[in-house]
Amino acid sequence: MEELKTGANPSTPVKTYGLATASLILGIAGFILCIGIPSLLAVIFGIIGLVRIGKSAGALTGKGQAIAGIILGGLWLVLFPILVILLAIIIPSNSFIYDLVNKKSASQTDSPSIPSDSARYDETVPADIDALDGFTFIETNSAGYKEYRHKQTGMVFVLLPAGSFQMGSNDADEKPIHEVTLNSFLIAKYEVTQSQWQKIMWNNPSRFKGDNNPVEKVSWDDCREFCKKTGLRLPTEAEWEYAARAGTNTLFYWGDEEGGDYMWYSGNSEDTTHPVGEKKPNGFGLYDMSGNIWEWCSDWYGDNYYGSSPKNNPQGLASGQYRVLRGGAWCRNAYLCRLSYRIREVPSVRDTSYFGFRCVQNFK
């Protein structure tokens, strides 16, 4: 039997073997469950301890490294879940970092709106869409349109019939007035609220806090990410105006005069957003289509797009620099809350407390 070198403890290699093995197991477990540098170091120390077993001169050193590996691996397994819990509590209520990397650039133009003809609807909409994944039927609203609940988010959607309408006005980037025909689709009854956003995205970037207030300070990119997570999408600009008009041919969906009973705008908002659904709805039973917050649309902005857009289900330009927003906001006058009024913004802009959205879904 090989003789141990002077000063070595015969049991040290065995003890080191056990400690090193424990370090290795803890490190591997931590790396699989948590990942992180401490887990990786625990694995390395465990391997070093095992390598030094047969070398009595390094046995004590291997033992120390193995113990260090056990401490690192064990502490990481305990501290990592605590760290995750703390982050889950802190991040949703703090949007400082969320807002830090974005800068605003606004561009708005004024133009009057005088559409000409009322909409024509195809009333041959199927009785229900229970077969459509993710939705359940609720009721037929007071306007006569069926409502469905999106299971994942809890949002209420209204099923709009296919139809044609006169889109735009005769001024600026709202011209020319042109006929558009759309397929039937589902659109959210209300703007996306902060509670709905936080349920999916785990944060609340809004300036004006309130569970039922519309989420704001969200970029087009953020809204697209929300839609990807929920299987929904943003409305096209044509879908938005069709839904907002609800068969009307006036400046607003209630007439040609500004109306504080229907919208939150600079004349009555007291410089803040308000809970969705507090004002009167339009003819489809949709709320806040004018005022409260601007709503992102899916389209790339084009100031002359209306002159060449297709009649059936227009999707907007194939590329561009800006995305379209519609509807006006709490901080804008009534003129800017008209149904044909358009603004544009780069899709990454997030630091505005009057940009939000509502979702739509295809209906087949």
For the stretch 281-324, pLDDT in tens is 999 999 999 999 999 999 999 999 999 999 999 999 999 999 99
Specify whether the CB–CB gap between 302 and 320 falls below 8 A. Answer: yes
- Cα distances from 242 to residues 97, 102, 104, 164, 187, in angstroms, run 37, 32, 29, 8, 11
> Strands 146-150 and 360-362: what pairing?
unpaired
Which residue stretches of the chain have pLDDT < 70?
A: 1-24, 26-81, 83-131
Question: What pLDDT shows up at residue 317?
Answer: 97
Question: What pLDDT shows up at residue 336?
Answer: 97
- Cα distances from 174 to residues 63, 278, 287, 314, in angstroms, run 77, 29, 23, 15
Question: What pLDDT shows up at residue 152?
Answer: 97
- 3-state SS assignment for residue 177: coil
- Is residue 134 packed enough to be buried (19+ CB in 10 Å), middle (13-18) or exposed (0-12)? middle
Question: What pLDDT shows up at residue 62?
Answer: 53
Q: What angle do CA 82, 228, 331 make, to 5 degrees?
A: 90
Question: What pLDDT shows up at residue 274?
Answer: 98
Long-range contacts, stretch 58-64, CB < 8 angstroms, 24+ apart: 59/8, 59/9, 59/12, 59/13, 59/16, 60/12, 62/16, 62/20, 63/12, 63/15, 63/16, 63/19, 63/20
Specify whether the CB–CB gap between 51 and 20 falls below 8 A. Answer: no
Question: What pLDDT shows up at residue 112?
Answer: 38
φ and ψ of 272, to 5 deg: -160, 160
- Cα–Cα nearest to 174, from 117, 247, 114: 114
Q: What angle do CA 91, 94, 99 make, to 5 degrees?
A: 105
Q: For residue range 96-125, list pLDDT tens digits in order.
A: 333 333 333 333 333 333 344 446 665 444
Diameter of the chain measured on Cα atoms: 105
Question: What pLDDT shows up at residue 310?
Answer: 97
- How far is Cα 264 from Cα 278, in angstroms, rounded to an integer? 9
Q: Which residues pair with 324 in a beta bridge?
A: 344
Kindly report whether the global pTM for this prediction surpasses the value 0.75.
no
- Cα–Cα nearest to 363, from 183, 227, 121: 183
The residue written with tokens 């289900």 in the block is 313
Question: What pLDDT shows up at residue 26?
Answer: 57
Tokens of 195: 């509670």
First-residue to last-residue Cα distance in the chain: 82
Question: What pLDDT shows up at residue 173?
Answer: 95
- Is residue 268 packed enough to be buried (19+ CB in 10 Å), middle (13-18) or exposed (0-12)? middle
Question: What pLDDT shows up at residue 93?
Answer: 39
Question: What pLDDT shows up at residue 267?
Answer: 97
- Cα–Cα nearest to 247, from 120, 144, 151: 120
- Cα–Cα nearest to 284, from 162, 137, 160, 150: 160
